[in-house]
Structure 1
């Protein structure tokens, strides 16, 4: 009996050991992450799409979530709205001007948990050669082992910004000035 109690006590200590920051690489190879966007088209409907080429890494410490950080690099030329001619226009100088600005990037500066599995992630977003602060509403989806012997953690986020704030002033009407982003990130612990 004494041996059983000692084993239980040791298991309890192991189960409450502090968790330290873990580093993750965003799983784009397995297509377990995405960046989707939508914008109103002339105020009549929604135009949606995604960026097919992006990557990054993040760090998260369950005992100190405020120390979380993320860097995401996006290739704006990988924009995909499911319409080749429109994508060509979006890559051109009216919108993303990918020849002049071949990279978009988000680098976090703060992570503030709300206590209910959600958080505010703040950082610097660079698009079209302009860098501005951007806040993403984040939901922690989950974390744990995967079937291949690794460990994963996932987050989902939403945000919005005005195209004009990033120097994109092509006029599609007043209802079409805001871009809404949805990001789903699953990381593989390194």
Structure 2
């Protein structure tokens, strides 16, 4: 009995000392629990808002080691939707996204920085390829929450913000000085695999 108890105790200690591993998640686009939204000033008079309807991605995440997290997201740029068909056609043209030549945008993280508030806030630094140009960007991220879902799965969600200067990605159509930066708002909910 003592040997069994000792073995169980040692086994428990051994398991407790094993560090938690990052879990892999798939972004829940099928359930529409993720969004990539944008807004840009229109001639400096108002805000034009929209979104990208088709994208996919995955990430690894461990709440105890946020700095080891990674994410990859691919966006179908032709899925841009500003709630106006003619404007969307113009946004897909060579004046803006050139979706016939550059039908895909991709973000691949390189590192996590400035982890604060017990891992609830951090910066994701990575390469964004848009309009055929790759640039390093920093997305400010805040964790929304995590836990079990009603279907027996496990989910975690984040929101993020980043500003992109269009000229940095070779988009130089002139809509005036107030319309040179697009504000991106990201909402990501992942399902643990």
Runs of 4+ in structure 1 off by over 6 angstroms are 13-17
Pairing 1:29–2:30 present: yes
Gaps of 5+ in 2: 1-8
Distance in 1 separating the partners of 2:71 and 2:115: 18
1:143-179 superposed Cα distances (whole Å, 9 cap, x missing partner): 1110000000111000001100000000000000000
1:129–1:179: structure 2 CA closer, same or farther, 3 Å change rule?
Answer: same
- In the alignment, which residue of structure 2 is the partner of 1:110? 111
Q: What's the secondary structure of 2:116's corresponding residue?
A: coil
Distance in 1 separating the partners of 2:114 and 2:191: 22
Distance in 1 separating the partners of 2:122 and 2:190: 17
Pairing 1:56–2:52 present: no
Q: Out of 138, 142, 161, which is 2:141 matched to? A: 138
Contact 2:66 2:115 in 1 (8 A): no
Gaps of 5+ in 1: 1-8
Give the C-alpha shift of residue 45 in structure 1. Answer: 0.3
Pairing 1:91–2:124 present: no
Contact 2:67 2:115 in 1 (8 A): no
1:114–1:84: structure 2 CA closer, same or farther, 3 Å change rule?
Answer: same
- In the alignment, which residue of structure 2 is the partner of 1:155? 158
> TM-score by structure 2 length?
0.89
1:6-50 superposed Cα distances (whole Å, 9 cap, x missing partner): xxx9xxx89997432000000000000000000000000000000
Give the C-alpha shift of residue 60 in structure 1. Answer: 0.6
Q: What's the secondary structure of 2:112's corresponding residue?
A: strand
Pairing 1:167–2:176 present: no
Distance in 2 separating the partners of 1:46 and 1:17: 51
> TM-score by structure 1 length?
0.90
Pairing 1:78–2:49 present: no
1:81-120 superposed Cα distances (whole Å, 9 cap, x missing partner): 0000000000000000000101000000011243211101
Count of matched residue positions in the alignment of Structure 1 and Structure 2: 180
